[in-house]
């Protein structure tokens, strides 16, 4: 059987888009190249001196893993030279980066989490690179500003992730469904393995760090009880699965259905909005979820309609099968209206 490469797939999308200039395809091409470089290093991680922490604390107040810093460097180095970007924002950098003057400027903005789930990397658990692509809003002869980057999820031009696991995968959407590709290491190409992915409407699995139970409010506890009890559409408890690597937990839900949750907790007043970042985690994954027929909420509002005020804004996230996400929103909305 002849297999479709990701480049062919992108070119097909390009021909379907009126006025397409090929710049977007070029952007993807470089992104894929960066991911292949990261993937290759990930495969040998246990043999290189690249596991463990660098000793630095990032803008999120978290330990920077050596592989985090490495993936960030690879992505920035490759992507600032594409000629189609005007700015890059990474989970690892406090501020967004303007494309240096010596390189050609473009109209797109790339936001990424270079290595999501990296606290798992030392134990050889799946991690990934999550990305979001936006188009700048201000005129191209003006200096790019933070306002160009603080866009709500509905405005994304494309989003997706690379998953580094037993095989390396690319899952992406340009607003025309969700497509999954698997890297064939023997030829170095991503081949279409999961066309038109659809999340099952009803899941059977819930995924949350239940160790934080005592730090949740009553509404959140009721949400979790909904999935653990038998007064749910299954009439029995859901199975629990939590890898602790968002991109891997999300990917399981995308393929098999279910819900991933990272609610607000009161462990630390600084994290009163939850842990996950809107621009580089919640928004791109919500775009993928919706494009695959699933849903994503912060509890009361659709993730894609939220407007971020800060580059590293955090947000609670409930994402996956439509029925399960709607059940969560129903519980939070009911609690909210009785409290009012």
Return the residues of window 71-90 that contact ligand FDP according to CB under 6 A.
Answer: none
37 binds ligand FDP (CB under 6 A): no
Interacting residue with ligand FDP among 89, 169, 183, 246 (CB under 6 A): 246
- The set of residues, in sequence order, having a beta carbon less than 8 Å from that of 161 and lying 6+ positions away, is 116, 128, 129, 130, 131, 170, 171, 172, 247, 250, 251, 284, 285, 288
Closer by beta carbon to ligand FDP, 117 or else 203: 117
CB of 73 to ligand FDP, least distance (A): 17
Closer by beta carbon to ligand FDP, 24 or else 112: 112
Interacting residue with ligand FDP among 116, 148, 290, 324 (CB under 6 A): 116
φ, ψ (nearest 5 deg) of residue 23: -65, -40
Partners of 302 in the beta sheet?
Answer: 297
Closer by beta carbon to ligand FDP, 220 or else 245: 245
Interface region with ligand FDP, contact rule CB under 6 A, candidates 8-16, 110-118, 187-195, 322-330:
110-118
CB of 115 to ligand FDP, least distance (A): 7
* Composition of the chain by helix, strand, coil, percent to 5: 40, 25, 40
Cα–Cα separations (whole angstroms), residue 227 to 116, 158, 230, 231, 328: 26, 32, 8, 8, 10
Distance CA 58, CA 92 (A): 6
Cα–Cα separations (whole angstroms), residue 64 to 70, 73, 299: 10, 13, 30
Closer by beta carbon to ligand FDP, 168 or else 245: 245
Interacting residue with ligand FDP among 39, 82, 118, 174 (CB under 6 A): 118
CB of 70 to ligand FDP, least distance (A): 15
290 binds ligand FDP (CB under 6 A): no
Beta strands in 72-212 (DSSP E): 85-90, 97-98, 108-116, 127-135, 158-164, 168-173, 179-184, 189-194, 205-207
119 binds ligand FDP (CB under 6 A): yes
Closer by beta carbon to ligand FDP, 90 or else 174: 90
Interface region with ligand FDP, contact rule CB under 6 A, candidates 80-88, 114-122, 294-302, 328-336:
114-122
Interacting residue with ligand FDP among 6, 31, 88, 276 (CB under 6 A): 276
Q: How many residues bind ligand FDP (CB under 6 A)?
A: 12
Closer by beta carbon to ligand FDP, 142 or else 209: 209
CB of 275 to ligand FDP, least distance (A): 6
3-state secondary structure 262-287: ECCCCCCHHHCCCCCEHHHHHHHHHH
CB of 225 to ligand FDP, least distance (A): 19
Distance CA 331, CA 233 (A): 14
Closer by beta carbon to ligand FDP, 86 or else 264: 264
Q: Are 134 and 85 in contact (CB under 8 A)?
A: no
Interacting residue with ligand FDP among 117, 203, 257, 284 (CB under 6 A): 117
Q: Residue 264: which of 331, 334, 207, 314 has the closest Cα?
A: 314
Residues making contact with ligand FDP (CB under 6 A): 116-120, 209, 244-246, 275-276, 281
């Amino acid at each position: 059987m002849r297999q479709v490469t990701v480049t062919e797939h992108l070119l097909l999308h390009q021909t379907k888009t009126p006025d397409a200039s090929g710049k977007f395809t070029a952007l993807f091409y470089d992104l894929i190249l960066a991911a292949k470089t990261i993937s290759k290093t990930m495969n040998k991680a246990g043999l290189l001196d690249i596991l463990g922490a660098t000793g630095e604390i990032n803008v999120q107040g978290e330990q920077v893993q050596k592989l985090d810093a490495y993936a960030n460097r690879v992505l920035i180095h490759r992507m600032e030279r594409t000629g189609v970007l005007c700015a890059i924002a990474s989970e690892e950098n406090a501020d967004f980066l303007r494309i240096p003057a010596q390189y050609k400027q473009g109209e797109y903005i790339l936001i990424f989490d270079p290595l999501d789930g990296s606290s798992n990397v030392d134990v050889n658990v799946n991690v990934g690179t999550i990305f979001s692509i936006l188009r700048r809003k201000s005129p191209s002869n003006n200096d790019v500003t933070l306002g160009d980057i603080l866009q709500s999820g509905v405005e994304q031009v494309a989003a997706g992730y690379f998953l580094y696991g037993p095989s390396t995968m690319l899952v992406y959407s340009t607003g025309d469904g969700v497509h999954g590709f698997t890297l064939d290491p023997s030829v170095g190409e991503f081949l279409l393995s999961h066309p038109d992915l659809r999340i099952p409407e009803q899941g059977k699995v819930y995924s949350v760090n239940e160790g934080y139970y005592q730090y949740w409010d009553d509404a959140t506890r009721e949400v979790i009880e909904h999935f653990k009890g038998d007064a749910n559409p299954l009439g029995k408890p859901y199975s629990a699965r939590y890898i602790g690597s968002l991109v891997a937990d999300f990917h399981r839900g995308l393929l098999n259905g279910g819900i991933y949750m990272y609610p607000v907790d009161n462990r630390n007043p600084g994290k009163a909005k939850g842990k996950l970042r809107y621009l580089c985690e919640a928004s791109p994954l919500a775009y993928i979820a919706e494009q695959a027929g699933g849903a994503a909420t912060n509890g009361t509002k659709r993730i894609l309609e939220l407007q971020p005020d800060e580059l590293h804004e955090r947000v609670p996230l409930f994402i996956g099968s439509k029925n399960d996400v709607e059940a969560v929103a129903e519980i939070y909305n009911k609690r909210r209206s009785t409290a009012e």
